[in-house]
Amino acid sequence: MASTVVITGASQGSGKATANLFAQNGYSVVLAARQPERLEAVAQDIRAKGGDALAIPTDVTNPKQVQELVDFPISKNWLNY
């Protein structure tokens, strides 16, 4: 079972590149960013290449959203340690 990594800023730039790199190396990735459409596009691209990706729109300046970023994958047994 692969490990899971949470990546913020994953919808573009270095966050997107980092997400792709981890996915290419067998990690499951939980993607966070403020723009849902871009974020989901990254997740779909990773899945199309055979990776595991979960997109969770998140504004990291909002504590409630950050808590949801942590809680949701755990509640769905999506995180692998």
**Using one digit for the tens of pLDDT, what is the confidence trace for 28-68?**
999 999 999 999 999 999 999 999 999 999 999 999 999 99
* Residue, of 40 and 2, whose pLDDT is higher: 40
Rounded CA-CA distance 49/21 in Å is: 12
Report the run of H or E that residue 21 belongs to, with start and end.
Answer: helix 13-24
The two tokens of residue 26 are: 């067998």
Q: How many CB atoms lie within 10 A of CB 36?
A: 13
Burial status of residue 18 (CB atoms within 10 A of its CB: 0-12, 13-18, 19 or more): middle
